[in-house]
Amino acid sequence: MALGARFNELFERWAEEYDSAVSGGHPEYREVFEGYAEILKTVVNELALPPGSTILEFGPGTGNLSRLLVAAGYRVIGVEPSAAMRAQAAAKVPELELVEGHFLSVPDSVPTVDGIVSTWAFHHLTDEEKDRALADMTRLLRPGGKIVFADTVFVDEQAREAFQKEAEDRGFLELAEDLRREFYPVIGRLEESFRKAGFLVQFRRMNRYVWLMSATIA
């Protein structure tokens, strides 16, 4: 599947329901988004950059994290592939500077930045694409910059398979298909991706599914 189709297909359909889902409105995804508001706040706090810093957000979706970043005094540039999501984010966060693109297609108009953030989006990339994206981020980050991501990550392959089986056993067929279809990483391979790109990364578990990743140039 071409990258554009892969990035857009789900979120063009899900744009109207996304805020409800992250707030617990989708029973199958309640554990995936457990503590959603606190996770977003943690991403902002983990940046710990001076007000006025420029932050690049990949996949801002409907603008929930963007709103917190703007409130913290940051200039925020959102790179979002979905037109439906961009429309919602623009309405919710007028200060957000939105451009069309994705992890592997950043417009030339985007300047170097002090921080890069993303939540529940990096898993759309294969492992090899994650390698490429992180290597590109080294060129986007200014000296002293930081990456902070939050996304579903598994401890190892056995854990990933166990979560898939658990979803099937609970009758969570949409979640089970999601876990099979997407490219959810395991910590060891993800740590390798950051290391190959020249980053030091730390992981912190936020709920059963989601881990916080905080990285700086080594």
Given this model, what pLDDT does residue 190 score?
A: 97
How many domains is the chain partitioned into structurally?
Answer: 1
Token pair 């997407």: residue? 182
Provide the 3-class DSSP secondary structure of residue 76. strand
Q: What is the rounded CA–CA span in Å between residue 103 and residue 88? A: 20
pLDDT tens per residue across all 218 residues of the chain: 455 555 556 666 666 777 788 888 899 999 999 999 999 999 999 999 999 999 999 999 999 999 999 999 999 999 999 999 999 999 999 999 999 999 999 999 999 999 999 999 999 999 999 999 999 999 999 999 999 999 999 999 999 999 999 999 999 999 999 999 999 999 999 999 999 999 999 999 999 999 999 999 97
Beta carbons within 8 Å of 97's beta carbon, 6+ residues apart = 75, 76, 77, 78
Q: Which residues contact 84 (CB under 8 A, 6 or more apart)?
A: 11, 12, 15, 16
- Domain holding 146, by residue range, is 3-217
pLDDT for the residue numbered 17: 76
- One-letter amino acid for residue 169 of the chain: D
Dihedral angle sign, alpha carbons of residues 163, 166, 172, 173: positive
Helix (H) or strand (E) holding 67: helix 64-71
Distance CA 74, CA 106 (A): 20
CATH number reported for the structural domain that contains residue 60 in this entry: 3.40.50.150
CB 204 within 8 A of CB 43: no
Q: In residues, how long is the chain?
A: 218
DSSP state of 53: -
